[in-house]
A = this chain, B = another copy of it.
Amino acid sequence: MKLPDKTTAMAEAVARIPSGATVMLSGFGVPGTPFALIQELLRQGQDNLTIIKNDANETGMGVDHLLAQGRIRRLITTHIGLNPRAVAMMNAGEIEVEFCAQGILAERIRAGGAGLKAIVTDIGRDTELTRGKPRLEIGGDSAVVELALRCDVALIHAARADTFGNLAFAATARNFAPLIAMAADMVIAEAEEIVPLGALPPDHVHTPGPFVDHVVALEALSEEYGVVRRA
């Protein structure tokens, strides 16, 4: 037995994404956002996308480029407060935005990733975010049924990947990556470093290779990862 090689050229991997696709993106703020895969998506021109990501990045970064070029039809997210364009486009009705409590977005994705249909929770019970969602009586208490989320493609940024697609993430760049890797019909991972089989210790793999379809090497690290001076 030896494990198959899944390394793929960037352009070839991204070309498998059709317009109209539902795409999940890793990243919480900057760390973990797959900036290079997003750039390739911009270059290739796919549009009418449904994007599922924790946030909409900030002006001039990641998701913001897709918004600026009008590629996004719908955004499922938790917080867009750092992207004025996202807020403005939402207010103008140019994109649909569905907000979710952050941990419930994580769990809905994970539920899709675990092959479940839905989760049942009391989170957001008293808020407008759960208005209209089905309810279920559990233990005398009214709980909300939150449907599992899956996507056509997950785009992931990893610190290291081996050729079979085992992934390791760095620090808080992990965030949603292991979850969306489970919830996609096709997973494309860009990696800062591609290592030979056996270089990632089996106990330290964050996303097991069987979830990953394509591993793309990064030639250079996007400037969007750079540390910025904040006020």
Q: Name A residues whose Cβ lies closer than 8 Å to a Cβ of B.
A: 107, 111, 114-123, 134, 136, 138-139, 141, 143, 145, 147, 168-171, 174, 202-204, 206
Contacts and interface: CB of A to CB of B under 8 A. Distances in A.
Nearest to A143: B117
Given A107-B114, A117-B120, A120-B145, 15 more contacts: A107-B116, A115-B121, A115-B123, A117-B121, A117-B136, A117-B138, A117-B143, A118-B138, A118-B143, A119-B120, A134-B136, A168-B203, A174-B203, A203-B204, A204-B204
A64 B111 CA distance: 34
Contact of A138 (B138, B147, B170, B204): B147
A169 B141 CA distance: 37
A119 B116 contact: yes
Contacts of A138: 117-118, 147
22 contacts: A107-B114, A107-B116, A115-B121, A116-B120, A117-B120, A117-B136, A117-B143, A118-B119, A118-B120, A118-B136, A119-B119, A134-B136, A136-B136, A138-B147, A168-B203, A169-B203, A170-B203, A171-B202, A171-B203, A174-B203, A203-B204, A203-B206
